[in-house]
Structure 1
Amino acid sequence: MRILAAFDKCKGSLSAREICSLAKDVISSRSSLDHVQTMPLTDGGEGFADLLTNAKDGSFHSVFAKDSRGREKEVKIGIISSADIDPDLQEFINLPCPGNIAVIEMSSIAGLADLMEEERNPWLTSTFGVGQLLKHCDKYEVSLILLGIGGSSTNDMGVGALSSLGVKFIDGDDLPVSFPSPETWSNIKEISTNSLSTLPPIRIACDVSNQLLGKGGATYQFGLQKGLCPDRKQEMEEEMLQMSASLARAFQKPLSFREQEGSGAAGGIGYGLSLAFDTSFVSGFSLISKWFNLEEAVKESDLILTGEGRFDRTSLYGKGPFEIIRMASNYGKNIILLAGSVESEAVKECKIKFPNIEVVSFGNDQLSLNENLARAPEFFSNELLKQLSNY
């Protein structure tokens, strides 16, 4: 039997690469007759630069930049030659000309997972370091930047990134705000774009369609998971409303940029960058699918294994495992989705649309979250072996 194992990460326990490797080990222990192909997934967060760069035999380059709380951190960016990119993939990312492609992972420098619980506060976090990584690309003759924005800790619309890229944010005392975060915005009286750096086109890999503002926007949809106090949501929304308008005026762009699909992802970084640079969004799943020739792998397989840390209603809106399910169902494939935890309503909706799927949780609801995370490899392996006994 030909089996495709295409998993996203289980946040806090297993990377996408680790869970795919576990699946392969379990399948191999069961039968030597099964052929297994692994394909780690990424939502633009953890593993984005590593997976894409390694797949095209690219190189990694170390960069020192400030994390979302202003501390120096060493991270890596990937550099890939456009000559190693298939023509249809070049067309998909709208490559403007031959040259190098930089692959940058926002979460590597401004990731939520890097912060302790008590440090998670979107009033104080900034994308300053993301701008530093973008600026560093001028050393490598880059003709395009691929930016993955999953797993971020910020809600600053890219103001921090713009600051490190030359935009001046001046306070009431005519002094520059050196590390702008939403907490400092009320002090900003002037924005100057005269010293803005030059960047090649940016393609943001994103599967979130939320607009910047409103109940479905950055603050209301994602603020709480980044540490925002519930009773300060409206206050943050009002700051976003005012600063987004100030940025639009500074760059002489229409306020309609706030209504772009995806402008609310990752705290609105795409909004800020799109005002200043040639920036557009690409489907993260479509990018991964084309990068790894995923559809062909699905067509050639008899059984599809996929999953993530938690399968809930948000999974039904463009996340990798759900898109795998959709693709596999188009070819009539049997599918098993394994997640650490599952939401019953999401499972019900998924099975109505795709009856050829089994959705199972490998977590133990009698144990604490910390113990489930610590024992995730064990629980995943046992549940997968149990599910495979039906095939």
Structure 2
Amino acid sequence: MRVVVAPDSFKGSVAADDAARALARGWLAHRPNDDVRLLPLADGGEGTVDAFAAALPDAERRTTVAPGPDGRPVDAAWLLLPDRTAVLELAQSSGLPLMATPDPLGAHTYGLGVVARAALDAGATRLVIGLGGSASTDGGTGALRALGLRLHDDQGRELPLGGAALAGLARLDTTDLVPAPPGAVQLLVDVTAPLTGAAGAAAVYGPQKGAGPAEIALLDGALRRFADLAGGDPDQPGAGAAGGTAYGLAALWGATITRGASTIAALVGLADALAGADVVLTGEGRFDETSLAGKVVGSLLKAADSAGTPVGVVAGQIGGPVPGSVSAAVSLVELAGSVEAALGEPARWLAEAGELLSRRLTGGQGDGSGRTAAGSREPS
């Protein structure tokens, strides 16, 4: 049997590559004779740089020290490709796991702008920026400020960083804003949310960043104020990605918003892999209705359905009904007995899940001695 193992990262717990290896190890424990291909994916969030690096071995990995979302320095990895395209990942510099404690009003994306500037200084002529896993709801103003944008209140004072400060925004000054690279800026997003409103950045994703109802209302109003002055299209699907960073970079830097999952899937050859597979395993930290709106698992389910390939899904937690396109699903929390246990040994429970799915998806039938497909790495 030919098996493709293509998970996203399990945010804050295990990288996509490590998750794929653990799932494959579990599958092969029950069916050691199957051909298993590892194809870790990303959608613009955690693992985007690694997914590009795996698919493009000529990419040069670099690291820039930048202010994290709470101001503490972090090491942010990015790639410089031979054609002078730089691949950046917001999660590396401004991601939620980088916060010591949640700060939904003050967290910012300044570090992303520092990394973007470093890429431009290194000679990048095109930027591909993965947007996902953001700690902030600042409309990307932190990143833009690192690139030279100035934001002032009605007294001419420069605003502090963070989304809440945008409520006092009176004037934008783009005089010193660094020009976008000549080859353009492509944003890889994992959501279809607009900037504001009931389905917007603050309302939908603010709670994940520690925002309560009053803070959500404040942040939503602050983003509206920013949009009133910045122009652009705050209602564009995906504008609300990464706390509105997609909107800010599109409105003031001319960036284009694209689906990250489909872009990366095309890069790594997912369609060809599915066409030759008997089954595919995928997964993410939490599977719920948002998984079906442009994220890795939702995009893979559509592709697998078109290819007629059965899908097994593994998630840290399953937060809603599992669609009929999923042949089998496993929750790591249920398997481990608690959130703490699942987070404490993610590789162990992913391997358990891989073995369990091998039984469910094959009717319990095992086979003989094992191997992995050509080009895959032996799980260890």
TM-score (norm 2): 0.88
Please point out which of 229, 234, 240 is paired with 2:223: 240
Cα RMSD for the two superposed structures: 2.0
After TM superposition, list the pairs within 5 Å mapping 1:100-139 onto structure 2: 100-116=84-100, 119-139=101-121
Which runs of 5 or more residues in structure 1 are unaligned?
83-99, 249-253
Normalised to the residue count of structure 1, the TM-score between the two structures is 0.86
How far did residue 193 of structure 1 move?
1.1
Conserved? CA contact 1:53–1:79, under 8 Å: no
Give the 3-state SS of the residue equivalent to 1:225 in structure 2. helix
Q: Which residue of 2 aligns with 1:263?
A: 239
Show CA shifts across 1:101-145 (max 9, x none).
Answer: 1000001111001113xx212210111111111112222322211
- Indicate the residue corresponding to 2:175 in structure 1: 194
Maintained 8 Å contact 1:50/1:78? no
Unaligned runs of 5+ in 2: 366-380
Q: What's 2:371 paired with? A: none
What CA distance in whole angstroms lies between the structure 2 residues aligned with 1:333 and 1:306?
A: 12
Aligned CA distance change for structure 1 residues 113 and 185 (closer, same or farther; 3 Å): same
Distance 1:386 1:76, change over 3 A: closer
Partner residue, 1:376: 346
| Cα drift, residue 147 of structure 1 | 0.4
How many percent of aligned residue pairs carry the same amino acid? 27
- What is the aligned residue count? 358
Q: 1:360/1:25 Cα in 2 relative to 1: closer, same or farther (>3 Å)? A: closer
Q: Once the two structures are superposed, what CA deviation does each residue of 1:159-184 show, in whole Å capped at 9, x if it has no partner? A: 1112111112234554434x522333
- Counterpart of 1:304? 280
Amino acid at match of 1:3: V
Choose 14-23 or 316-325, whichever is displaced more: 316-325
Could you give the per-residue CA deviations for residues 70-117 of structure 1, whole angstroms, max 9, x where no partner exists? Answer: 2222222111123xxxxxxxxxxxxxxxxx11000001111001113x
Residues 199 and 137 (structure 1 numbering): CA distance in 2 closer, same or farther, change over 3 Å?
Answer: farther
Work out whether residues 26 and 353 of structure 2, in 8 Å CA contact, stay in contact via their aligned partners in 1: no
Q: 1:166 aligns with which of 148, 168, 172?
A: 148
Distance in 1, matches of 2:320 and 2:136, equals: 30
Partner Cα distance (1:139, 1:234) in 2: 38
> Following superposition of structure 1 onto structure 2, how do residues 80-119 of structure 1 map, counting pairs within 5 Å?
80-82=81-83, 100-116=84-100, 119=101
1:50 aligns with 2:50: yes
Could you tell me how far apart the structure 2 residues matched to 1:19 and 1:9 are?
7
Q: Which amino acid aligns with 2:75?
A: E
Query: Does 2:316 align with 1:340?
Result: yes
Corresponding residue of 1:283 = 259
Whole-angstrom CA distance in 1 between matches of 2:43 and 2:316: 17
Deviation at 1:3, TM superposition (A): 0.6
Task: Trace 1:198-237 onto structure 2 (pairs within 5 A).
Answer: 198-200=179-181, 201-237=184-220
Cα 1:17–1:327 change in 2 (3 A) is same
Q: Secondary structure at the match of 2:314?
A: strand
Higher relative contact order (CA 8 A, sep 6+): 2
Judge which range, 364-373 or 293-302, deviates more: 364-373
Contact 1:363 1:376 in 2 (8 A): no
CA distance in 1, matches of 2:279, 2:221: 49
